[in-house]
Amino acid sequence: MSAENNEQSGTFQDVTRDIERTHLARHADIDRVLKKVAEGVETFEGIFDKIQATTNSNQKEKLEQDLKKEIKKLQRHRDQIKTWISSNDIKDKRALMDNRQIL
Average pLDDT, the chain: 87
- pLDDT of the residue at 54: 94
Average pLDDT over residues 16-45: 90
pTM of structure: 0.75
- How far apart are alpha carbons 89 and 86 in whole angstroms? 9
**4 domain-assigned:** no
Give the structural domain span for 65. 30-102
CB atoms within 10 A of CB 81: 23
Check pLDDT > 50 for residue 6: no
The string of pLDDT tens digits covering residues 79-100 is 999 999 998 888 788 888 888 8
96 in Cβ contact with 81 (< 8 Å):
yes
Counting DSSP H helices and E strands in the chain, the numbers are: 3, 0
The string of pLDDT tens digits covering residues 51-78 is 999 999 999 999 999 999 999 999 999 9
Strand locations in 1-103, DSSP E? none
Domain count for the chain, please give it.
1
Instruction: Calculate the alpha carbon distances from 12 to 6, 20, 23, 49 in Å.
Output: 10, 12, 17, 55
- pLDDT of the residue at 19: 76
